[in-house]
Amino acid sequence: MSAIAVQRPAARRIGWRIVVTPLLLAAVVGALALYLSGRDLDSIEQRNLSLDVIARALWVHVQLTAISTAIVIAIAVPLGILLTRPAARRIAPAIVGVANVGQAVPSIGVLALFAMVVGLGRGGVIFALVLYSLLSVLRNTMAGLEGIDRSVVEAARGMGMSKLRTLRKIELPLAVPVMLAGIRTALILNVGTVTLATFTLGAPPDGSGGLGELINSGLRLGRLDTVVLAGAVLTAVLALLVDWIAGLVETLLRPHGL
Amino acid sequence: MSDPAIRLHQLEKRYRGQREPAVRDLSLEIPRGEIVVLVGPSGCGKSTTLRLINRLIEPTSGRIELDGEDVTRADPDALRRRIGYVIQQVGLFPHMTVADNVATVPLMLGWDRARIAARVDELLELVGLDPAQYRGRYPKELSGGQSQRVGVARAMAADPPVLLMDEPFGAIDPITRERLQDELLRIQADVRKTIVMVTHDIDEAVKMGDRIALLREGAQIAQYDTPERILTAPADRFVADFIGSGALVRGLTLARVGDAELTPWPTVDAGGSAEEARASLRDSGRDAVLVLDEQRPLRWIAAGELGNGSRLQELGRPVGGVLTADVSLHDALNELIGSATGAAPVVDERGAYRGVVELRSLSAAVAAMRDGEGDRSPSQ
């Protein structure tokens, strides 16, 4: 049926402004590279800023962010759907309250806590990240579903759509924009928080602690205007890039007609 | 009523924590092919009753029959696909086009694409929206009136024998509302659905209903009758108060000049003389004569104005309006009040004089409605 619909090409909905952010970020990275190559790096700096180390740090950082966000989506979206069903109305505030605690505690505290309880290593880091960013996705999933005009749901049910079909065809598509906004927030939170992972992952200076490792070891070694700077700038660029991609996905997945 | 489309039997709905049931012991039969309007003050349980019929609200006890089949415990989703449902807020799916909205139920029933597309166009046509222009639009691109047209089309998509409408025109401006009401009546004349409509507006109930169920608190039926009978013979004080003042005058909107008995009136041809006019008046007991020009009502001349010698065409005053058979008695009353003689001439479709309507004719029409002999009284 939707073939009948007038489809606006996705490209036109996004426009030329789409290229501004990546160009700007590329310029920043280029400037950083230029600056560092112009400096006379000592052996410590050279070891910490080798292409090998930076690439691994970036890769670990992206991995940790992606895995933790995927787990958050897998938990928070179904949970949000369940908690907005009439049967769960009573217990919903309690569960949202628990998720609230996860975000209220400072992230380094959560990480440290889980480093003690679950132990050092990736598992602990991911566990803490999930706990920390769960709330934004959960809350937005619930808000997105609860924000749907009740008359739309009533019309659907009144025409004989089953509860499941109403959820699938009506409620979820209409909640998508708000849910995606929550996922975007979780992503950004996680990109930032992963910089703290280096404290629990331990840090052989090879990049396996993520971009936070650059900042951490740069601080310990007193290489502020080279190693720390590179770590900080790359983290910021990564965060903005992830935000840009998420924004793109939001635009593309937003249902027509809204 | 031997074979009603819907039969509610001792239906009851109690909500937990409320002492009084929202609907108490309601039994109601909805005849096939008619519009039954549930009307009553807010909180009387009329919307609850409507939702009990398609079981959006499950009854606490009692029985619901659709076409003689007990559906009280049938699968509610399957049941609702057999019943069209229109609500005040329309509830179009904002992320779907007009065509996809209308196609909702046919899609669930597994119709093939070609059949659905043809049906969508047919329905948009029926509700007065050009398919080529509207089928690809999204709900936010429609006005309130257009949205409700799509709402009605969507409810009728799979051609359900029964339509439930919960204040369908309640949120629409008065002019558009009137147009939509007229169009629904026009469509209904073709499709003859069984329609149960809820409204709090007695005028809408009178206009739309073949029958009106006037409900008081707890969905208790105060009167279940034709609009004519409700207006001319309210069952009790509650009904009379709910209808409000001027009920009989409003009842006149329900009958047409063609239904009323016409009275003869003294006439004279425009080419005739004053003497002929006087002769015509003499035994009639009237005090004015109607001048006809080739059968068309031309002027009123009072007895005292009939001097000697003057031509009839120059005496008296011109006839204001003339009535035809399809004019409502309400409009006829308006003419009568404006007429100096207390009578309004009635003409046939060719404009030829047939007789007059007087105040007495209107009283007789009201009496006929009260006795249940009105145009739309139940046929049994």
| Average pLDDT for chain B | 91
Please tell me which residue, A70 or A43, carries the higher pLDDT value: A70
Predicted local confidence at residue A4, as pLDDT: 43
Confidence band, pLDDT 50/70/90 cuts, at residue B379: very low
Count Cβ–Cβ pairs < 8 Å, chain A vs chain B. Answer: 99
User: What would the pLDDT profile of B150-200 be if each residue is shown by its tens digit?
Assistant: 999 999 999 999 999 999 999 899 999 999 999 999 999 999 999 999 999
For residue B151, what is the nearest residue in chain A, using CA coordinates? A155
The beta-carbon neighbor of B105 closest among A154, A157, A159 is: A159
Instruction: For residue B291, give the H/E element and its range.
Output: strand B288-293
Predicted local confidence at residue B80, as pLDDT: 96
User: What would the pLDDT profile of B151-164 be if each residue is shown by its tens digit?
Assistant: 999 999 999 999 99
Which residues, at least 6 apart from B316, have a Cβ–Cβ distance to it below 8 Å? B288, B291, B299, B300, B301, B302, B305
Q: Within a 13 Å sphere around the CA of A66, how many CA atoms are in the beta-carbon half? A: 10
Chain B closest-CA separation from residue A13 CA (Å): 16
Q: Is the pTM of this model over 0.95?
A: no
Q: CB of A18 within 8 A of CB of A248?
A: yes
The beta-carbon neighbor of A4 closest among B54, B78, B135 is: B135
Chain B closest-CA separation from residue A1 CA (Å): 6
Q: What percent of chain A has pLDDT over 70?
A: 88
Which residues, at least 6 apart from B3, have a Cβ–Cβ distance to it below 8 Å? B32, B68
Lowest mean pLDDT segment, chosen from A91-100, A229-238, B308-317, B354-363: B308-317
| Average pLDDT for chain A | 86
User: What would the pLDDT profile of B127-151 be if each residue is shown by its tens digit?
Assistant: 999 999 999 999 999 999 999 999 9
Q: B107 exposed, middle or buried (CB, 10 Å; 0-12, 13-18, 19+)? A: middle
Predicted local confidence at residue B377, as pLDDT: 40
Sort out which chain A residues have CB atoms less than 8 A from B139's CB and list them. 257
Region B31-40: what's the mean pLDDT? 96
Q: CB of B57 within 8 A of CB of B225?
A: no
Confidence band, pLDDT 50/70/90 cuts, at residue A3: very low
The beta-carbon neighbor of A160 closest among B78, B97, B137 is: B78
Return the amino acid letter for B100. Answer: D
Q: Check B87 against A257: CB less than 8 A apart.
A: no
User: What would the pLDDT profile of A122-149 be if each residue is shown by its tens digit?
Assistant: 887 888 888 888 989 999 999 999 999 9
Judged against a pLDDT cut of 70, whether residue B103 lies above it is answered with yes
Checking ipTM against 0.90, whether it exceeds it is no
Sort out which chain B residues have CB atoms less than 8 A from A7's CB and list them. none
Predicted local confidence at residue A112, as pLDDT: 72
Interface test with B, best of A8, A148, A159 (most B CBs within 10 A): A159
The beta-carbon neighbor of B95 closest among A151, A158, A255 is: A255
- What does the angle CA B256 – CA B258 – CA B261 come to, to the nearest 5 degrees? 105
Judged against a pLDDT cut of 60, whether residue A159 lies above it is answered with yes
Q: Does A46 touch chain B (CB under 8 A)?
A: no
- What does the angle CA A234 – CA A235 – CA A241 come to, to the nearest 5 degrees? 85
Region B90-117: what's the mean pLDDT? 96
User: What would the pLDDT profile of B253-311 be if each residue is shown by its tens digit?
Assistant: 899 999 898 999 999 998 888 888 888 888 888 889 999 988 999 989 988 888 766 67
Predicted local confidence at residue B375, as pLDDT: 45
Predicted local confidence at residue A14, as pLDDT: 66
Predicted local confidence at residue A129, as pLDDT: 87
Chain B closest-CA separation from residue A154 CA (Å): 7
Q: Give the number of other CB atoms < 10 A from CB of residue B134.
A: 23
According to DSSP, residue B256 is labeled B
One-letter-per-residue 3-state SS of chain A: CHHHCCCCCHHHHHCHHHHHHHHHHHHHHHHHHHHHHHCCCCHHHHHHCCHHHHHHHHHHHHHHHHHHHHHHHHHHHHHHHHHCCHHHCCCHHHHHHHHHHHHHCCHHHHHHHHHHHCCCCHHHHHHHHHHHHHHHHHHHHHHHHHCCCHHHHHHHHHCCCCHHHHHHHHHHHHHHHHHHHHHHHHHHHHHHHHHHCHHHHCCCCCCCCCHHHHHHHHHHHCCHHHHHHHHHHHHHHHHHHHHHHHHHHHHHHCCCCC
